[in-house]
Amino acid sequence: MMEQGINLERLQKIDNRIIEILDSATQVSLYKFNPKSKEWERMGIEGTLFVYKRSEFPYYWFIIVNMLSTANLIKPLTYELEFQLQSPFLLYCEKKDFIYGISFYEKCLL
């Protein structure tokens, strides 16, 4: 539980409206599907994924705290995001934009 509190404090430095961490995965990587080459490309975002609740709308978000740089991936969980589990990725797209894949290095509950 102590680690959860430390992680919450760390995330609140990024967004002071975070009130609760709902779930996390220790090590993930973000990929983007390139429709021209039909290949997955690494996005340079790797680290810990957190799903959290905020005190303001939209209430639910996820973040990948990037260990490679200061550029984190932060997204609200809204109806505009579509998700699909397709091993080894959790795929998502936003407004029929590019397809992104989150690759998990550990087993997690999805």
User: Which H or E run contains 9?
Assistant: helix 2-14
pLDDT per residue over 15-59, tens digit each?
Answer: 999 999 999 998 999 999 999 999 999 999 999 999 999 999 999
Exposed, middle or buried: residue 101 (CB in 10 Å: 0-12, 13-18, 19+)?
Answer: buried
State whether CATH 2.30.29.30 applies to domain 2-102: yes
The predicted structure's pLDDT at residue 53: 97
Domain ranges of the chain: 2-102
